[in-house]
Amino acid sequence: MSAAEAVLPDLLAPTLVRVAKVTRETHDTFTLTTQAMPGSELPVFSPGQFSMLYNFGVGEIPISISGDPEQFDRIVYTIRSVGKVSHAVISHKAGDSIAMRGPLGTSVGP
Ligand X SMILES: Cc1cc2nc3c(=O)[nH]c(=O)nc-3n(C[C@H](O)[C@H](O)[C@H](O)COP(=O)(O)OP(=O)(O)OC[C@H]3O[C@@H](n4cnc5c(N)ncnc54)[C@H](O)[C@@H]3O)c2cc1C
3-state secondary structure at position 90: helix
For ligand X, the binding residue among 36, 42, 61, 98 (CB under 6 A) is: 61
For ligand X, the binding residue among 33, 54, 86, 100 (CB under 6 A) is: 86
- For the CB of residue 55, give the shortest distance to ligand X in the complex, in Å: 9
How many other CB atoms sit within 10 Å of the CB of residue 8?
Answer: 12
> Which part of the chain contacts ligand X (CB under 6 A), choosing from 11-19, 35-43, 83-91, 94-102?
83-91
3-state secondary structure at position 29: strand
For ligand X, the binding residue among 80, 91, 94, 97 (CB under 6 A) is: 80
Q: Look at residues 11, 14, 16 and name the one whose alpha carbon lies nearest to residue 92.
A: 16
- For the CB of residue 80, give the shortest distance to ligand X in the complex, in Å: 4
3-state secondary structure at position 8: helix
Q: Is 75 in the site for ligand X (CB under 6 A)?
A: no
Q: Look at residues 37, 46, 44 and name the one whose alpha carbon lies nearest to residue 19.
A: 37
CB 33 within 8 A of CB 21: yes
Q: Is 63 in the site for ligand X (CB under 6 A)?
A: yes
Question: Where on the chain is the footprint of ligand X (CB under 6 A)?
Answer: 50, 59, 61-64, 78-80, 82-86
